[in-house]
Structure 1
């Protein structure tokens, strides 16, 4: 394949976007993988939520942990309401996001790191595998086929980000780190959340460590909050972009890839509003019921 090819040019990318273990590679693909020379200067960096995967990975994780009695229905309704509020109201203030993320990570306090890593594998199969966007997965594979390293860069907990990267056959993942003592989570964060400028800083550190040339690198995201990351590399791409990122990408001449159907794009705002109202109503009902009991 020519070195100057684009990630949207390989043949039948959709049919090649399969999860490891779901299909066996053909003999020719295996031969190509073995003979591909590594690209020592180029790499690709992918956001996760709504870029690699439909929806928020932290929410899929929370659903799985809820089934395993890590926390109550009341807890998950509160977390759902917080997430929906940010999406519908468009509030992306770093302080608000940090509080929401800290609240979301607090439910693992007292649990062992090994426990979450093992459960994460199960939750990926249950809640996440079928949420992977085939188109974005195919682009990631295109980079791997060229001998480039591929990292996930996400605000999600690094443990679940690492599971996703491993199951997709990627190089690795950078995510938000939860503090733990003697292998047990404290429920606090280590440093800052992997968000906004934090992602760009992390990519710079990887580039320096691995000898990458940022002008030869690629980045993919759905959110205007990731403009620092996208602007850092020579080949940015907006995937399933929000309105602000779409406008910026168009004005900057960046590639845009949207794997949502027209109907899904049209309804995403409406569904989010309905879900937020439903979550808020249920949350108020639970609070009212608790007051009545007392």
Structure 2
């Protein structure tokens, strides 16, 4: 009985942290969106980028202002993980040493080869990033983030997913990124793509300086769903008329609360779940990349290099 009570308290604590992270992300997202709206008229022409011609979906409904779209970032809107590209850019600017760079490189290799978001690796990346930015000013990281986007992220945006987001914008709806990446990085990406704003992990700051702690927990898994719910309430949205897009089974909680869920570049678990629930599928990877993500471990060992292949195989055996 004592063990059961402990588990119940732990679950309640985890739920409370998810709610706190979601509410913090929603508050930060609304603030940055308001700032973005004030600057949109000035920046739109300068920042507009040509979009590749991609067949627009049959959805969304034009003029439905109680609808909005929520897009996961990593491997949905952008190839790879934003936090790893951020780490790469910070290393270039001497924020940390080669040992930490090697860790970021390994994390990125895992992410791209395995095709899944492993919670342990994402937590490791989060802790690395927090230790790196501790003591730095928020304004400093925002300014650097602009350059890092141009250097490492801009060319990794999936044109197909960007077209989906633009379809919602053209229909008069708001479009939000929802990501475990730092909210500052997510906000830069959203603004560069002409989106409304971003829900992201909120790092604590005092007097404009990072403390090395988070507000709540990373915006991952159930916390994303809480953030979307909080934002929908604040914005007066009807979630049954909203859409959500993700590549990862970790985002099933977020996808499940909207009326129009999409699996984009899905991992194997999400693809299976989407098909069983009749969700729409979109895959913008090349045939080679899409197949590589889905190959069985035994077949992939001969094609994948060294330690990355062994780690992926071990991960899949544990699943």
TMscore range, shorter length: 0.7 to 0.9
Q: Please give the alpha-carbon distance, in whole angstroms, between the structure 2 residues aligned to 1:62 and 1:170.
A: 24
Which position in structure 1 is the counterpart of 2:48? Answer: 21
Relative to structure 1, the CA distance from residue 249 to residue 111 in structure 2 (aligned partners, 3 Å threshold; closer, same or farther) is same
Which position in structure 2 is the counterpart of 1:71? Answer: 96
Residue from 274, 283, 288 that aligns with 2:305:
274
Residue from 132, 137, 143 that aligns with 1:107:
132
Q: Do the aligned partners of 1:110 and 1:187 also contact (CA within 8 Å) in 2?
A: yes
Q: TM-score, normalised by structure 2?
A: 0.72
Which position in structure 2 is the counterpart of 1:244? Answer: 269
Residue from 257, 276, 295 that aligns with 1:232:
257
Q: TM-score, normalised by structure 1?
A: 0.78
Relative to structure 1, the CA distance from residue 59 to residue 206 in structure 2 (aligned partners, 3 Å threshold; closer, same or farther) is same
Which position in structure 1 is the counterpart of 2:314? Answer: none
| Matched residue SS, 1:194 | coil
Which position in structure 1 is the counterpart of 2:10? Answer: none
Q: Which has the higher helix share?
A: 2
Q: How many residues align?
A: 250
Q: Do the aligned partners of 2:116 and 2:248 also contact (CA within 8 Å) in 1?
A: no
Residue from 232, 243, 255 that aligns with 1:207:
232
1:128 correspondence with 2:159: no
Q: Do the aligned partners of 1:179 and 1:185 also contact (CA within 8 Å) in 2?
A: yes
Which position in structure 1 is the counterpart of 2:202? Answer: 177
1:161 correspondence with 2:192: no
CA offset at residue 96 of structure 1?
Answer: 6.3
Q: Please give the alpha-carbon distance, in whole angstroms, between the structure 2 residues aligned to 1:152 and 1:241.
A: 17
CA RMSD of aligned residues (A): 2.8
Decide which moves more: 164-173 or 37-46: 37-46
Q: Please give the alpha-carbon distance, in whole angstroms, between the structure 2 residues aligned to 1:91 and 1:259.
A: 18
Q: Do the aligned partners of 1:179 and 1:186 also contact (CA within 8 Å) in 2?
A: yes
CA offset at residue 98 of structure 1?
Answer: 3.2
Which position in structure 2 is the counterpart of 1:193? Answer: 218
CA offset at residue 188 of structure 1?
Answer: 1.6
Q: Please give the alpha-carbon distance, in whole angstroms, between the structure 2 residues aligned to 1:279 and 1:250.
A: 30
| Matched residue SS, 1:173 | strand
1:216 correspondence with 2:247: no
Q: Do the aligned partners of 1:84 and 1:276 also contact (CA within 8 Å) in 2?
A: no
Which position in structure 2 is the counterpart of 1:145? Answer: 170
Q: Please give the alpha-carbon distance, in whole angstroms, between the structure 1 residues aligned to 2:269 and 2:99.
A: 33
Q: Please give the alpha-carbon distance, in whole angstroms, between the structure 2 residues aligned to 1:176 and 1:23.
A: 30
